[in-house]
Amino acid sequence: MKTLSELIAEGVEGRRVLVRADLNVPLDGDKITDDGRVRASVPTIKKLADAGAKVIVAAHLGRPKGEPDPKFSLAPVATRLGELLGIEVPLAPDTTQLTNGGVALLENIRFDPRETSKDDAEREAFADELAALADAFVSDGFGVVHRKQASVYDVAKKLPAYVGELVEAELKVLRKLTDDLERPYVVVLGGAKVSDKLGVIANLLTKVDRLLIGGGMAYTFLKAQGHEVGNSLLQEDQLEQVKGFLAEADKRGVELVLPVDVLAATEFAADADYADVDAAAIPADRMGLDIGPASRELFAAKLADAKTVFWNGPMGVFEFDSFSGGTRAVAEALIKSDAFTVVGGGDSAAAVRALGLPEDGFSHISTGGGASLEFLEGKELPGISVLES
């Protein structure tokens, strides 16, 4: 893979460089609620601009339906990026107007349906248009490198392509989790759906010493153990697979740790009534929205002697104050730990910041949820392999 430093060493003064960044931030109206991904994208863009390149940034926001939709405009992101760079960043500009050291942001790349098309020819036609804007391509959107999309994959075949600093740093950390890691290796998984994470669970069972499961996915595991889970999130169609995971963990001597108590609420709401109940005794008319105090202690204890930790997925509905305690407890256990600690997952990373926890308390907070999970699953990431060829 050719690196950003190599591109800069070649000389970029006056050259047009297309940077694919991941600026997919959560918005509340037109306000960015967590700018982590914008900040993470700055170093690569700034290095290029400082070296005199004309920097054209491509990114997506949300899932527009392949046509312009003001709800998904990158306008707030252009403003924030400009603030962080200390220069004005025009949105959807005529890129021929860029001066040396200037930065422009293209409007949401997913406004064009060809970006995510399954049809190779359609994607390639769009990639040709993108390639025509620039002389070189830098892949720095780690959150999208697992996608075979025009601005991630196809365009890299049409221009001299380089890996950006963010992607390089993310890969370095993930390799540390797969190559010669220090044990005990403990993984904490949470989040909403077990089906999103089946592949990674199967793979992790061959690697970890301990697997702690919280969040919405814990209820499918509890049910697979024969417990009733009331109205909690349950993926009935995944039960057989999850039973297989329980058996596999047993066979391999992987310690699989589930919540022992949960905060069972009357409804899915910030102000819902709730009680701490035994995980084996969730009332039929209640739903578990967080792991309980005993589970928090148990999880912290299971993390205490770890030398390597990967955490993906909140332990509860952290967006509601009452149900953020489990996520906070796991985050604090990681901060306290002297292990190599990696947080992966958009919502997990956002939770760390939303709860006001120090980002530098972790060895690394990944900007890419799906991408880091697919890497750990051992899958090939198209946006990376295209840079290697």
Q: Which amino acids are annotated catalytic? A: 37, 193, 346, 370
Question: If DSSP codes are grouped into helix, strand and coil, which group holds residue 208?
Answer: coil
Residue 40 CB, shortest distance to ligand ADP, in Å, is 15
* Closest C-alpha among 14, 32, 129 to residue 76: 32
Judged by beta carbon, residue 102 or residue 313, the one nearer ligand ADP is 313
Residue 345 CB, shortest distance to Mg ion, in Å, is 6
Residue 272 CB, shortest distance to ligand ADP, in Å, is 12
Three-class HEC string of 325-336: HHHHHHHHHHHH
Q: Within a 10 A sphere around the Cβ of 360, how many other Cβ atoms?
A: 8
Judged by beta carbon, residue 164 or residue 216, the one nearer ligand ADP is 216
Residue 347 CB, shortest distance to Mg ion, in Å, is 4
What is the rounded distance in angstroms from the CA atom of residue 342 to the CA atom of residue 301? 18
Residue 278 CB, shortest distance to ligand ADP, in Å, is 16
What is the rounded distance in angstroms from the CA atom of residue 221 to the CA atom of residue 190? 11
Judged by beta carbon, residue 122 or residue 228, the one nearer ligand ADP is 228
Judged by beta carbon, residue 143 or residue 164, the one nearer ligand ADP is 143
**143 touches which of ligand ADP, Mg ion, none (CB within 5 to 8 A by kind)?**
none
Side chain identity at residue 224, one-letter code: A
Size of site (CB under 5 A) for Mg ion: 2
**According to the binding rule CB under 5 A, does residue 165 interact with Mg ion?**
no
What is the rounded distance in angstroms from the CA atom of residue 232 to the CA atom of residue 283? 10
Judged by beta carbon, residue 102 or residue 369, the one nearer ligand ADP is 369
Residue 206 CB, shortest distance to ligand ADP, in Å, is 21
Side-chain half-sphere CA neighbours of 347 within 13 A? 17
Position among 346, 368, 370, 383 found at the interface with Mg ion (CB under 5 A) = 346
Chain centroid to CA 181 = 21
**141 touches which of ligand ADP, Mg ion, none (CB within 5 to 8 A by kind)?**
none
What is the rounded distance in angstroms from the CA atom of residue 306 to the CA atom of residue 208? 11
Residue 316 CB, shortest distance to ligand ADP, in Å, is 5
**According to the binding rule CB under 5 A, does residue 347 interact with Mg ion?**
yes
Q: Strand 27-28 and strand 16-20: pairing?
A: unpaired
Judged by beta carbon, residue 76 or residue 191, the one nearer Mg ion is 191
Q: Within a 10 A sphere around the Cβ of 324, how many other Cβ atoms?
A: 21
What is the rounded distance in angstroms from the CA atom of residue 134 to the CA atom of residue 123? 17
Tell me the DSSP string of 2-52.
Answer: -BHHHHHHH--TT-EEEEE------EETTEES--HHHHHHHHHHHHHHHTT
* Closest C-alpha among 87, 91, 85 to residue 104: 91
Side-chain half-sphere CA neighbours of 377 within 13 A? 17
Residues that bind ligand ADP in the complex, under the rule CB under 6 A: 190-192, 196, 215-216, 233, 288-289, 312-314, 316-317, 319, 345-348, 369
Judged by beta carbon, residue 25 or residue 127, the one nearer ligand ADP is 25
Side-chain half-sphere CA neighbours of 98 within 13 A? 31
Identify each DSSP E strand in the chain by its residue range: 16-20, 27-28, 31-32, 54-58, 103-105, 136-139, 161-163, 185-189, 210-213, 255-257, 261-265, 274-278, 287-291, 308-312, 340-344, 364-365
Q: Rule CB under 5 A: which residues touch Mg ion?
A: 346-347
